[in-house]
Amino acid sequence: MRDYRKRFYVDPDDKLRLAKRDTAYRGKHESEAAAKDDIQHLLERLTELQLRLYAAKSHGVLIVLQAMDTGGKDGTIDHVMSAFNPQGATVARFAQPTPLEAAHDFLWRVHPHAPAKGGIAIFNRSHYEDVLVVRVMGDISKAECERRYEAIRAFERLLLDAGTVVLKFFLHISKAEQLERFGARLNDPSRNWKICETDYTDRRYWDDFMQAYEDALRATSTPEAPWYVIPADHKWFRNLAVSQILCAALDELDMRYPKPSVDLDEIRRKYHAALKAE
């Protein structure tokens, strides 16, 4: 199966232009039906890799999801989390800061949700909101934005040094696809609750958001804590690409199950003795 890390990786030395990234890319597959077997294989592999991660407790995994509204953060979480045992995986959502959170530095509310060794944490939005929305809306200066990039790099370096694997995904949809998804929400009573006034007002700032994303991704993508721009117009391909990249990154950890803490021969003797006693 193709490794999508190189294709979708954000190289900080290149001039990222999101407008030139194909949001409808779908690789070798013509349809969701054609990709079904690959998607299922990846989910099964993620289940196995999470079990090894949980048992070995040598690394944690942080998955960051960012996107414009309707970009597919919830859908990606629903898909990826279906492969995980919830005992070893958490999801944290970072909405507008509360008054208490806003009274602290912008990373104060984030760090407690970082994964422990053996665990996986998924951020639905993240610390990157504090260099995106606030920048577009003019709440912070360019100089402050640069300082925050530096703080983010230092924060992620701290996580890396503690054994955390950091993988960041920008789910990239087109402006036309976003409008189509807004329409689907209007026609689906189960999703009406997601509709808010800013859905349409924020669309006026689309180009500003794209520029903010380009700058933030370029400033904070490294080989150790990479950003990937995932084509997300096709939900099934988005799920396939994210799952494939996760599998590839976890496979490279070469995790092993820990050795038993007991004498297995002795336990077997006790087991067979118990069977005879029945």
Which tens digit of pLDDT belongs to each residue from 124-176? Answer: 999 999 999 999 999 999 999 999 999 999 999 999 999 999 999 999 999 99
DSSP assignment of the chain equals ----HHHHB--TTS---GGGS-TT--TT-SSHHHHHHHHHHHHHHHHHHHHHHHHH-S-EEEEEEEESTTSSHHHHHHHHHTTS-GGGEEEEE--SPPHHHHTS-TTTTTGGGSPPTT-EEEEES-GGGGGTHHHHTTSS-HHHHHHHHHHHHHHHHHHHHTTEEEEEEEEE--HHHHHHHHHHHHT-GGGGGG--THHHHGGGGHHHHHHHHHHHHHHH--SSS-EEEEE-SSHHHHHHHHHHHHHHHHHTT---PPPPSS-HHHHHHHHHHHHHH-
62: containing domain: 5-277
* Number of compact structural domains in the chain: 1
Global pTM reads 0.94
- The domain that holds 251 is classified in CATH as 3.40.50.300
pLDDT tens digit sequence for 72-128: 999 999 999 999 999 999 999 998 899 999 999 999 999 999 999 999 999 999 999
